Amino acid sequence: MGRPAIKVFSEVEYLALERKSSEKHFFYNGEIYAMAGASYEHNVIEDNLRLSIGNHLKGKSCRSFGCNLRMQVPGHSFYTYPDIMVICGDPVFRTDTFDTVTNPTILVEILSEGTADYDKGLKFDLYRYFQSLQEYVLVDSRKQHVLVYSRNDNGSWTMVEYKEAADRFRLHSIDLELSLADCYTGLNLPAA
């Protein structure tokens, strides 16, 4: 007995369905996937980072967004909702409906057991196609562990790992320094 046929959707069909849906879905190569709910730890980390980044950006030309703004990798049939996105300058929209952006400067994903491999692998492979992307930050929700990927002038990427509560990391594109303690305030997670 063979595998059942998978329905393949066009980008237009996905966007029409997504605009009517009360739940969020990501889209990749014609397939639609439901996005999982987030843990308490995930929500605390997201809140901590959104407050720190948002407060830092007040009055500046960059703006942070939570997980409700959809983005698309230009030239690829991949649409998703990052946990946190920073856009510097004016947002560039995919269409004139103003609900799908294509020019993130910083993307932050909060890792869970179910998403860690995907966020470090296929998702980052696709995110690197954003010419505007300068930093990709992965924050673990199970232990104190942050990975910061930064784009170099030649287009290559450098990764730096942070594991201690006192460790500080800089988001150069917005000139913001954060500590692991800033990420994990209110949580009692083990060190990596």
**CB count, 10 Å around CB of 91?**
17
Q: Can you list the domains of the chain with their CATH numbers?
A: 38-184 (3.90.1570.10)
Q: Print pLDDT tens along the chain (192 aa).
A: 566 667 899 999 999 999 999 999 999 999 999 988 899 999 999 999 999 999 999 999 999 999 999 999 988 999 999 999 999 999 999 887 789 999 999 999 999 988 899 999 999 999 999 999 999 999 999 999 999 999 999 999 999 999 988 899 999 999 999 999 999 999 999 988
Of the chain, the percentage scoring pLDDT greater than 90 comes to 86
Q: Could you give the CA distance from residue 48 to residue 42 in angstroms, rounded to a whole number?
A: 10
How much is the pLDDT for 2? Answer: 61
Q: What is the pTM of this model?
A: 0.94
3-class DSSP assignment, residue 74: coil
Secondary structure (3-state) at 26: strand
Which residues, other chains included, contact 123 with Cβ-Cβ below 8 Å and sequence gap of 6+? Answer: 80, 109
The residues, ordered by sequence, that sit 6+ positions from 132 with a Cβ below 8 Å of its Cβ are 88, 92, 103, 104, 105
Q: What is the pLDDT of residue 126?
A: 96
Say how far apart CA 33 and CA 178 lie, in whole Å: 33
